[in-house]
Amino acid sequence: MSCYLNALGVICNLGAGKAAVAEALFASDATHLPSREGWVPEHALPLGAVDIALPAPPSALAERDNRNNRLLLAAASEIEADIRAAIARYGGSRIGVAIGTSTTAIEEATQGIDGYRRDGAWPAAYRYSQQELGAPAEFLAEWLDLGGPCFGISTACTSGARALISAQRLLRLGLCDAVLCGGVDTLSRLPVNGFFALEATDPEGCNPFSANRRGIAIGEAAALFLMTREPGPVQYLGGGASSDAHHMSSPEPQGLGAQQAMRAALDDAGLDAGRIDYVNLHGTATEQNDQMESIAMAAVFADGVPCSSTKALTGHTLGAAGALEAAFCWLALRDGRLPPHIWDGVADPNLPALHFVTPGSRLSAERPHRVMSNSFAFGGNNACVILGDAA
């Protein structure tokens, strides 16, 4: 059964909406990841923040007002007309919601805890329920009055990709006629300081697959798709996932779980590796992730494939990353342009060589095109999705 990504709403540090994001992405505009103070004591870090005003929820949903939901609402608003048309076509009870996140409203929760420690009472605006990992999905369902399956997915940095995989299953099972799926995460002090404490952040930015790589930068984003069985601009061809459970925070060194997820996605899509035109790499610029992903890519794509990590432009958007980078693949298929690999060009001689995309590169004139997006996470959680031109 074919599934399609009929509409995309997206917001991140590169801009609000598909047009702004595509312009900065394909222009290799790395100016959107400036160093910022005040997030980690006595240090400045590059952060991919969204620096525009975000829409507030309607007054009826005031108790769900937080930055995470505002970011998600901004992405949803871009495709609200498409969503409303789907509701009119299928009915709200036949539309599901699957949203990946890893932090939801943890920044507001942190502020609430600070207030409790300071004043001995919870602030009036504090709502514990906003921390729940299903809260973003529930917010969308309540805003749109949807009655289909509604749930959050929190598998760390594969959350957004796993939401797309789950959406396809809901359609395949006949439980829904349309699914709103994607991911959202906002900048918050808890994960930023956590990655800093792990010595996983690079104060200079993000330099994926370089011999000089030192770690990640953190960003925020929301990417939301409307997936249906109705033909649309981009086809969702398949997805694969695995859990190698190698270590709490370190990937399996040979990328065995990553290979399993990529091969599962290829099998689900009915493709062999030679039919893939581009891969968006997880590419965090941490020593161990880039090492294992290089090995996994060389094993699955023995003849090579154009690939890039876009995290040097956006930072790592955590639970939103899988959805955001699938959005970049969606834009690549729409525009025929490939997201560039931004780094210092100093290859690590200890890693298998990959075919990195240079600025200005395009998909070939021969269609159809198929593109893959990789997402890997703490705990050995791996996910991969494949998109293609509509048949």
Quote the CA–CA distance of 384 and 281 in Å, as a whole number: 10
**Which residue in 316, 329, 369, 384 is the catalytic one?**
316
Conformational region of residue 341, where left means phi above 0, alpha means psi within -120 to 50, and beta covers everything else:
beta
> How distant is the alpha carbon of residue 52 from its chain centre?
20
The verdict on whether omega for the bond into residue 136 sits within 30 degrees of 0, i.e. cis, is no
**Which residue in 3, 12, 150, 157 is the catalytic one?**
157
**Which residue in 32, 282, 341, 369 is the catalytic one?**
282
Is 282 among the residues known to form the active site?
yes
In DSSP terms, 45 is beta-bridged to 36
**In this structure, how many other beta carbons lie within 10 angstroms of the beta carbon of residue 36?**
15
Is 341 among the residues known to form the active site?
no
| Contact call for residues 205 and 312 (beta carbons, < 8 A) | yes
φ/ψ of 193, rounded to 5, equals -70, -30
Catalytic residues: 157, 282, 316
